[in-house]
Structure 1
Amino acid sequence: MAVGQRAAVGNLIRNLRKECGSQRNGGGGGRASSSPLPSLRRAFSLYDQINLIDNVPDDQLRFQGFTDTGFTVNGVQYQGSLLCVGNLLTSWSPKTFSHITPHALSIFQIIRPVPEILIIGCGRYIQPVDPQLRNFIRSTGMKLEAIDSRNAASTYNILNEEGRIVAAALLPYGVCT
């Protein structure tokens, strides 16, 4: 960056700080802000947390935590694998990633409306999805995202809170293979 550009950026930042300061103090013709804007650092770091948005309706599923053996959903602790479609939750039989087969996901052949995306929580580590399973999921009309279970639960929360039709098939976080 050239010296002139650096000086221009520095002046711009100083002017913005002055304007923000005068607005907070009631000057500048603008309405004073009652609370500061959240920092970008905090906004981006929230993605890794399960509890992302407050004031979620009571009838909406929301993952609030996880352990090596299960999940906490809407204040209730569940052990083992879970299958979620929209705001419906059920226990699910697969215990390891290799047990996730088209048969284990056959419910998606009859569920309507078809979720736009299926998030597979692979356990502790991301696993490659078998081509046969990938083809089965595509045949239902869903997109597929296979990620670790912690981030799968978080992604499910975000998409569900946005009102999107989403499904999650989650192994407990302690599953490693």
Structure 2
Amino acid sequence: MVSGGVRQSAVASMLPYLAKTLRSESPKISNQTLPSLRYTDTGFTINRVNYEGSLLIVENKIMSWAPKRFSEITTESLSIFKVLRPVPEILILGCGRNIEPINPELRRFIRSTGMKLEAVDSRNAASTYNILNEEGRMVAVALLPYGVTS
């Protein structure tokens, strides 16, 4: 019994040191940059992993995104930004092959979240995301595949 108590005491005395070490050595997720985002006609490649279809990337978290065409991008398809905190400073919207005009309702919704909006073709969206992410900026990107034309 004495040896068990001594062992527990030793473990208990090491816990603060262990916690401090883990905190100082753990990478900060928000400061990690996502490896280069590249586009294809049907999806995207991130860190040599291919993703087919549309993507939403927020805080370096990659999610499949429902819209298949530009007309399917709605406030509902971007509703995650109603509850996401902290809010990214900018949303880059990759419209597919061509830049499309943004619906005023969608523009108002994005503005109401506190984000700025940059709508460009998906090739330039990927490039802009890479640059801003490399700078450590808090950025989100919603991407239709480059092969999508409307």
Q: Give the whole-Å Cα distance in 2 for the aligned partners of 1:84 and 1:169.
A: 7
Secondary structure at 1:83 match in 2: strand
Q: Give the whole-Å Cα distance in 1 for the aligned partners of 2:48 and 2:111.
A: 33
**What does residue 50 of structure 2 align with?**
77
**What does residue 145 of structure 1 align with?**
118
**What does residue 105 of structure 1 align with?**
78
Q: Give the whole-Å Cα distance in 1 for the aligned partners of 2:37 and 2:106.
A: 29
Point out the structure with max Rg over C-alpha: 1
Corresponding position: 1:92 with 2:65: yes
Corresponding position: 1:125 with 2:98: yes
**What does residue 16 of structure 2 align with?**
none
**1:118·1:169 contact (CA, 8 Å) conserved in 2?**
yes
Structure showing greater relative contact order (alpha-carbon pairs closer than 8 Å, 6 or more residues apart): 2
Corresponding position: 1:67 with 2:37: no
**1:86·1:160 contact (CA, 8 Å) conserved in 2?**
no
CA drift at 1:84: 0.5
Secondary structure at 1:112 match in 2: coil
Q: Give the whole-Å Cα distance in 2 for the aligned partners of 1:139 and 1:92.
A: 21
**What does residue 140 of structure 2 align with?**
167
Gaps of 5+ in 2: 1-31
Moved over 4 A (4+): none
User: Percent identity over the alignment?
Assistant: 69
Aligned pairs for 1:42-61 within 5 A: 60-61=33-34
Q: Give the whole-Å Cα distance in 1 for the aligned partners of 2:113 and 2:62.
A: 20
Secondary structure at 1:136 match in 2: helix
Aligned length in residues: 119
**1:64·1:75 contact (CA, 8 Å) conserved in 2?**
no
**2:96·2:145 contact (CA, 8 Å) conserved in 1?**
yes
Corresponding position: 1:114 with 2:87: yes
Gaps of 5+ in 1: 1-58
RMSD over equivalenced CA pairs, Å:
0.9
Corresponding position: 1:154 with 2:94: no
CA drift at 1:64: 4.1
CA deviations over 1:59-93 (Å, ceiling 9, x no partner):
53233422110000111000000000121110000
What TM-score do the two structures reach when normalised by structure 2? 0.77
